[in-house]
C-alpha cells in the first residue's frame, strides 16, 4: 500500500507551482516530496531551468518528462512559434495561450509517475479564480479527472489544488506564509519566455497585479533590479 504522506508536485517553474511546492513541503515534509516538470515544446522553455533551480533550492528530487505532442498539434501561442501571445480572449472565449488538454495530460502523466513512486498525493497549482479562464483548471474538471485516474489505475490518488479558489493576491500572501518568496525570485511567469519578463503579456500582468494588490514586492523583480537587469 502507498505511503499516504508522500507527495508529487507538478512544478512548472512558475509562481503558482512554486507556491504549491512550498505548501507541500509544509504539509508532508521535505523528505516526502518530489517534483515533476514537463517539456512540451513551450515558448517559455526557460521555465524548465527555473523549475530545476527551485527544486534544488527546496531540496526535493526533480523529474522532467518530455511530451512533444502539443508542439506537433500547435494552434496556440504557447507551442506554436508563429502565433503571438495576445491579450484578451478569442472567438471561442478563451485566451490564445490555452493549450487544449494540457492539464489533463500533465496530471495523467504525473499520476502515472506518482503510481510508480508510491506517492498518493498529487499537488498542482491550477485555479479557477482570478486566472485566465482555462476550463481544465476548474474544480469540476479536477474532481472528474481524479475519479477517472482512481478507477483507471486502482490507486487512491488525491489531487490537491491549494490555489483553486484563491485570488492572485491571495496566492502571493500564501507564498509569504509558507516561505516561498525567496524561491519566487527564481520563478518564471512570462508567456513570451523573456527574462527580464516582458511585463505586458497576460501572465505578466496577472503576476504584477497580484503582488501589487497584496502589497508585497515581487522577489523576481527585486532580484533583477539588484543584478542591474532592470
Q: Determine whether the annotation assigns residue 63 to a binding site.
A: no
91 band by pLDDT with thresholds 50, 70 and 90: low
Mean pLDDT over 120-128 rounds to 95
> Whole-structure pTM over 0.95, yes or no?
no
Q: Determine whether the annotation assigns residue 182 to a binding site.
A: no
Lookup result for grid cell 483553486: 164
Q: Determine whether the annotation assigns residue 65 to a binding site.
A: no
Name the pairing type of β-strands 62-66 and 119-123: unpaired
Report the pLDDT value the prediction gives residue 133, as an integer from 0 to 100. Answer: 72
Report the pLDDT value the prediction gives residue 96, as an integer from 0 to 100. Answer: 60
Q: Which of 54-58, 87-91, 98-102 has the highest mean pLDDT?
A: 54-58
The lowest-confidence range among 127-131, 198-202, 208-212 is 127-131
**For 23-32, what is each residue's pLDDT tens digit?**
999 999 999 9
The full DSSP string for 126-186 is --SSSS---GGGSHHHHHHHHHHHHHHHT---EEE-TTTT--HHHHHHHHHHTT-HHHHTT
At 176, which helix (H) or strand (E)? helix 168-177
Q: Determine whether the annotation assigns residue 189 to a binding site.
A: no
Q: Determine whether the annotation assigns residue 50 to a binding site.
A: no
- Domains of the chain in start order, with CATH, are 3-226 (3.40.50.620)
Radius of gyration of the chain (CA): 17
Report the pLDDT value the prediction gives residue 100, as an integer from 0 to 100. Answer: 77
Amino acid at each position: 500500500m502507498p505511503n499516504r504522506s508522500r507527495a508529487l508536485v507538478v512544478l512548472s517553474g512558475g509562481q503558482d507551482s512554486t507556491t504549491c511546492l512550498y505548501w507541500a513541503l509544509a504539509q508532508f515534509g521535505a523528505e516526502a516530496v518530489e517534483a515533476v516538470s514537463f517539456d512540451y515544446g513551450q515558448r517559455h522553455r526557460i521555465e524548465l531551468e527555473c523549475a530545476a533551480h527551485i527544486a534544488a533550492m527546496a531540496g526535493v528530487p526533480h523529474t522532467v518528462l518530455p511530451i512533444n505532442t502539443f508542439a506537433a498539434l500547435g494552434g496556440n501561442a504557447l507551442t506554436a512559434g508563429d502565433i503571438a501571445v495576445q491579450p484578451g480572449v478569442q472567438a471561442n472565449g478563451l485566451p490564445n495561450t490555452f493549450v487544449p488538454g494540457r492539464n489533463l495530460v500533465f496530471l495523467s502523466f504525473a499520476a502515472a509517475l506518482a503510481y510508480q513512486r508510491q506517492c498518493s498525493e498529487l499537488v498542482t497549482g491550477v485555479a479557477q479564480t482570478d486566472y485566465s479562464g482555462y476550463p481544465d483548471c476548474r474544480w469540476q474538471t479536477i474532481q472528474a479527472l481524479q475519479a477517472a485516474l482512481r478507477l483507471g489505475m486502482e490507486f487512491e490518488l488525491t489531487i490537491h489544488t491549494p490555489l483553486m479558489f484563491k485570488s492572485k493576491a491571495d496566492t502571493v500572501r500564501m507564498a509569504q506564509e509558507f516561505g516561498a518568496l525567496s524561491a519566487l525570485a527564481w520563478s518564471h511567469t512570462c508567456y513570451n519566455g523573456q527574462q527580464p519578463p516582458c511585463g505586458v503579456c497576460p501572465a505578466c500582468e496577472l503576476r504584477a497585479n497580484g503582488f501589487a494588490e497584496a502589497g508585497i514586492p515581487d522577489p523576481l523583480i527585486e532580484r533583477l533590479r539588484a543584478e542591474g537587469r532592470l
